[in-house]
Structure 1
Amino acid sequence: MDLGMDKVEQILFLYGHDDQRTDAWHTKRGEMLTASEIYKAVHDASPALKHEIVMTKLLPRPASSGFGARALLWGTRLEPIAKHIYCTYIQGGVQIMDTTCIPHRDHPFLGASPDGILVTADKNDFRYGKLVEFKCPISREFSNDTPIPSTYYHQMQLQLECTDLDECDYVEMKFREVNYSEWEESTAQYKSWFAVAENGRVVYRDIDDKRDVQTWRKEMMPNLETEWWATVYWVFEKYRLTTVPRDRTWLPTNLESFRAIWNTVQEHRAAGTLPDHPKEKTILTI
């Protein structure tokens, strides 16, 4: 399909709707190895990690809890804020276009859901057609010299393969949750709050909104008297931006491993069985 569209326009025509984290999105992801988990399937991943990714495709994933779930929830809730800061204050002149899960054109058992594709008014802008991946770690520290965690490197490489694009902006942002007094006293460049309903719905306050907390809550949440809401105050501390190029050797290096793992999933689905857990080697030190 061409229709006079460039590569970015074709991607957005086919996959440019945001259904991430819906039931349909989870179902689609269950039928492929996806970018966020692909580090478990690379050729040099441990047998335990390869077993883990197979099991996630064979058994329904239970609702997670604990620190991992809290960190994921923190990052998910902050992603719209990170996107706004990136587009409005860090880059300027770019839009982030959302997509659904994008299957690989030649290997449909591989798929990726990028955080977005950068679009500019001028298609000759060097930023046009870049992917962007946001991380908002809840506790992990980073600096401009910190290596990108390999988990995220593999994630971005599969995103680039599935979209057939050449670069991804890796953006890490550090936000800190504070109480109201700390928020009032903070001199952070960017700070605001959002409200979370008991059912998980989130309402965001614009960074430049001049209304005080009480006025904002009253006007933005008309059912405030009958619904429970928690207000989360945040301050922005720092960010780093690293452009990650597509590594053309990455997929050929790992494809055999990816295919073997997906074949294992298909075989166990057909047989209605589960694989044995691999026995890890134990090294005894005396």
Structure 2
Amino acid sequence: MTTVRVRLPDGTAHVGRVVDLRDVERSGDAATVRRSIRSGFPLEPDVPRVYCPAPTRCHRFADLLSREMSFDRYGALATLARTRGHTASEERTLAHVRDELAETAAPAPEDLTTARRRAAEAGAETERLRERAATIRGRLEATRDAGADAEAVERELEETMRRLSEVATERVAARQRLDVQETQARAARDSRERRMRLEDRIANLRRTIRRSLAETVYEEFGGAVTALPDAFDADAGDEPGGYDGEPVAAALAFARVAPLRAPVVVEATVAERFENAATLARYLRGPLVVC
């Protein structure tokens, strides 16, 4: 039979399968005792030290039993089922989908703002210079028709056409860069959408697996719920989704059937629903500390 040894900061020790600290000074609150069980010996000198076997994977679901607690019923029962060697048929599919997700590259953030601005600016400058060139040609024809010296206007037109050629080349390059980045952005969106679909499928598969595993041990869990004192007024129903009752009642039932090895910590308000601490210990079938 597993016993627990709790050493208090004042040096006194409490040993037994059931350690009741409700009327003991400087025994620490329930959360502190739980932390000591979880981490072994705490570093702080002024908190209790609990000497006990190491907790199992199931222990974390019911390590502190309180009226205000939450309880991951599917997660706890699925973990219990795995300790019993149960598996789910969807696990192979889940592994395959996870591999697909790992092979789907996470898209780099894309920002097309700069590329679009540069393409637009190059296009606007090209149109401006074309209009300027057309205006200068009109002036050049008018100057020649008037028989005046057109050399200065010809030089202005030549410089404008040179600049127009440069800007037109820049416009093509900017458009090409934008096309490439838009193609990359579409690929990134496709990759992101694919990752989202895979992540959703993984989440759905995990829920299905948890539900399937929980069902394999639910009859045993239901029996533990039925064995609770009437004060808890809980009903397991016929399947994991049919449970009706407080989270602490489900956690107590889970602690009764799961291999925890380490003691559970029970707050006084929960322990008081049992006839006494010994009755609570018989129900849990394992060591406990009442705070």
Shared fold (TM-score, shorter chain, > 0.5)? no
Larger radius of gyration: 2
Greater helix share, 1 or 2?
2
Greater strand share, 1 or 2?
1
TM-score tier (shorter)? under 0.3
Q: TM-score, normalised by structure 1?
A: 0.19
